Structure 1
Amino acid sequence: MTTDSIRRLNAADSDFDAQLEQLLAWESVADTHVETTVADILQQVRSRGDAAVIEYTNRFDRRQLNSAGEFCLAQSALAAALERIPSAEREALEAAAERVRAYHQRQRQESWRYEEADGTVLGQQITPMERVGIYVPGGKASYPSSVLMNAIPAKVAGVDCVTMVVPAPDDQLSDLVLAAAAIAGVDQLFTIGGAQAVAALAYGTESVPKVDKIVGPGNIFVAAAKRAVFGRVAIDMIAGPSEILVICDGGTDPDWIAMDLLSQAEHDQQAQSILLSPDVAFLNAVEKSLDRLLDELPRREIAAQSLAGRGALIQVQSIEAAIALANRIAPEHLEVSVEDPEQYLAQIRHAGAIFLGRHTAEALGDYCAGPNHVLPTSGTARFSSPLGVYDFQKRSSIIYCSPAGADSLGRVARTLARGEGLEAHALSAQYRVKE
């Protein structure tokens, strides 16, 4: 990588808005070929069940399954993987799981109610979902952190059954992923992936139970399948490439900031890393750090493509201007690497996760800080939130009228119903009115 490989922008330039729009542009999962392929897979699994799942799994993952029993993994296999992994990895998984669980326990919502003067009771009942499916990438990729972040909030919410699907291309399975499933309390595990796994979770098969919600990241076919089954089941989100936006006043070690940017760039070529600073000398120093540190990374080619295609170092007038620009971008991860960062916290409106201070690397949030790393991307932090316990809890309204309450409410409802031309509604309310 050379110093001209990452674009340099200045927020004061007359064409900055156009440049920013181009920088942030990203093609979503809308692809005609993908959607057509996924639609066929969904229809086949819906109509043929396990047989279709086996057929697609053998074709796409290069396996030789003969029966559904071969893609159903017993709990003993998870326990065995937990025993096989090195003690240091087990301790790290357990420490991360403990922190994730402690954080999410504070998100639990409880039922509530209140009584009005006439004895009418109103409230809200909170209940967990019964069945949830989590999708975890598999094969050579090993994402045990994804298992923890998706399964633990569901278990904390009280979900009856957490079903995990993970592909095993060429019959490869990561012991770390299986060990994480054991630690997180996954109830069922099926070694299937792709759109066929999403279809199995959404519709149910002879072996895979239908779930109420599907969460977790996947490739473009998984994302397209999740979008297609939304409405039959709930989904968490349609996730785009990973993003980091760093705001720095120039007082942090440029190597630290460069590596924070690289930590996202190494995800994939479409990941986005942006730095905002009013200090031009600091932007120059970070650019030099990127040049030097990039060569040390095993995934340097991926990171270099990410930085060249979607990365940027942007000069802004002030930290306040940087905060305003960050709200406009609504990033997945926002690092506020400045002196006394809390003074700016109230001004931040749109971000998936906010990392305050010079010592708070975004990578800590990916693994073990505690908050969830499943976050809104592509500007959707303007209206979406991190995955949490609340995503696995449902709310039901409670209305319990006393005779006096039915009388007073009935008079109001009767009038409004007749105003809408709905006489049966009016009479239903009127029958309980004391004339």
Structure 2
Amino acid sequence: MTRLSVAVSIVLAASAGALAAPVHAAEPVALQCGRLFDARSGKILSARTVVVREGKIEKILDGRSEAPGARAIDLSQHTCTPGWTDLHVHMSSQSSPQSYSEGFRLDDTDFAFRSVGYAKKTLLAGFTSVRDLGGEVAPHLRDAINQGLVDGPRIWAAGKSIATTGGHADPTNGYNDALSHLIGPPGPTEGVINSIDDARQAVRQRYKEGSDVIKITATGGVLSYARSGDAPQFTVEEVKAIVDTAKDYGYRVAAHAHGTEGMKRAVLGGVTSIEHGTYMDAEVMSLMKQKGAWYVPTIYAGRFVADKAKLEGYFPEVVRPKAARIGALIQQTAANAYKNGVKIAFGTDMGVGPHGDNAREFLYMVEAGIPASVALQAATIRAAEVLGVDDQGVIEAGKRADIVAVKGDPVEDINTVMNVDFVMKDGQVYKQAL
């Protein structure tokens, strides 16, 4: 048994109390919603009653209705929306001034324990699904949640991100010579590639480890212990080898990318989404529209790191100028991308900031000029499209009963998303603060 397996076993044993409720609530319920957000049209509908049975939406009735045999839940002062999806999180970590030393001091056990709390905070904030784009704990956390052992969102897990030597997800960046020589150069098993054959092997390793999605770091990054935050780090041929191999296993590929050239190579190579996209220019936007690629801005992460870069000692000095320069640009990039018709979906890069604060991304999207209705669609029906699923992201008969409720009208006042009163996932109520 690996160290990580032992860690997760300990966490699950500690979380055994969560077993009191089944994954799907047995009791049918009728959610009497004062308003309902129609994710397909982006419009707020008048009062509807959503009948939920065995984890699915059974039917939707006009007005405030009773459903025989179903327990009524009064949400007449609320707007019901489909459960939200955050397409870019890291459930096993959270930024702090100690982040860069913790990898040397803490064990997988520590990160596994932390992930349980982060998962619950995320779910209670209204996010019933997430895509975890890099973290070896995530596939195990996903399984624990699916088994009803831990409370948290549905997880699409990338496992270890794929990088090039010295790239943003090279796990040995910043190691001294003695430690580097002791460990040896990482390879495809560790998610580091330098050839087309390596690229194929790295994807197959992620399949072996149980990943749901592939994440590559197509350019340098802000928080990695390396000088460049935007240099391209894969060839088009390497990206294509990753994408083609991923398709063999039914995987989609998300590409972390800040620099223009790296984005172009990633889109030409066939990735599903560009994450961050800081220096996205008109050529990249045109190429993304041509290829059907999605943009996941992660404005929250940009704002967070730009703010923290002002604090002495929060980031290492090699990171601080990147955080100040790159982080501050992402919100404007999102504004430009929306104006130019690039397809946008919702993601925060949470783990950079504190888990549970994910909904603040909605506010930043609206600040960037993206209509509130479009921002809500980005976290519901559009996110489902990015994931390649059709059983969630809308409140319709036959879909998963993932439903969030906030007081007021979030299309009129997006700030309402910061106060979630009701959370249901797969028909089970996790939060009811009414």
TM beyond 0.5: no
- Which structure has more helix as a fraction of its residues? 1
TM-score by length of 2: 0.30
Q: Which has the larger radius of gyration?
A: 1
- Which structure has more strand as a fraction of its residues? 2
